[in-house]
Amino acid sequence: MEKFAQIFELQAGFAEMIIRGTTMYWVLYALLRISGRRDMGSLGMADMLVLVLVADAAGNAMSGDSYSMGDGIIVVATIVGWSYLLDRVGYYVPPLRRLLEPQRVCLIRSGKVLVHGLRKEHITRSELMEQLRLKGVANLAEVERAYLEATGEFSVVRVQERSKAGASTLEGDDACG
């Protein structure tokens, strides 16, 4: 029973683990925000490898030389707590949502490719065309709007879809100018 208690015994201080977890959360948050969301929409093998390596490096940095379960639980709880808090702040304080969450970027308007949107997100024209083909689009004239969404996914609104009755998903569409 004593060995079981040692597993959860803190090797580093409680405050130190919270500070380490908080620091790494914000550093990784900033790096992922800067790196762009295009990569978040689809994870390839290289992306998954980077994710695992970052997680391992961040884990070591957060826990320092500590290997106790108690220390690990504190770090994980700190990270989950920050994630929960940011979700709630973004929901209840809409003006901060723009800072906390990336906004969608319009890439095509009325069949015309918006080059400034592609440049902003570092997307090549061929990558855009690939995404359109994956959505079943054969001709740019079929596209009323195309976006890179906050999640990193591409979305396409076809011309004929726009004419259907109902609430528009394009409301407040300042992303397309």
pLDDT in tens, 121-152: 889 999 999 999 999 999 999 999 999 988 78
Residue 44 has pLDDT above 90, yes or no: no
pLDDT in tens, 92-101: 998 888 887 7
- Compute the distance between CA of residue 100 and CA of residue 32 in angstroms, rounded to an integer: 12
pLDDT-derived band at 105 (thresholds 50, 70, 90) equals: very high
Q: What is the mean pLDDT of residues 72-95?
A: 84
Q: What is the DSSP letter of 113?
A: E
Q: Which of 86, 85, 66 is nearest to 75 (CA)?
A: 66
Residue 108 has pLDDT above 90, yes or no: yes
Q: Partners of 155 in the beta sheet?
A: 147
Give the residue, 91 or 150, on which the prediction is more confident: 91
Domains and CATH numbers, the chain: 2-100 (no CATH), 105-176 (3.30.240.20)
Q: Which structure tokens are listed for 100?
A: 């906390």
pLDDT-derived band at 40 (thresholds 50, 70, 90) equals: very low
- Compute the distance between CA of residue 95 and CA of residue 34 in angstroms, rounded to an integer: 20
Residue 164 has pLDDT above 60, yes or no: no
pLDDT at 129: 94
- Compute the distance between CA of residue 151 and CA of residue 130 in angstroms, rounded to an integer: 18
Residue 67 has pLDDT above 50, yes or no: yes
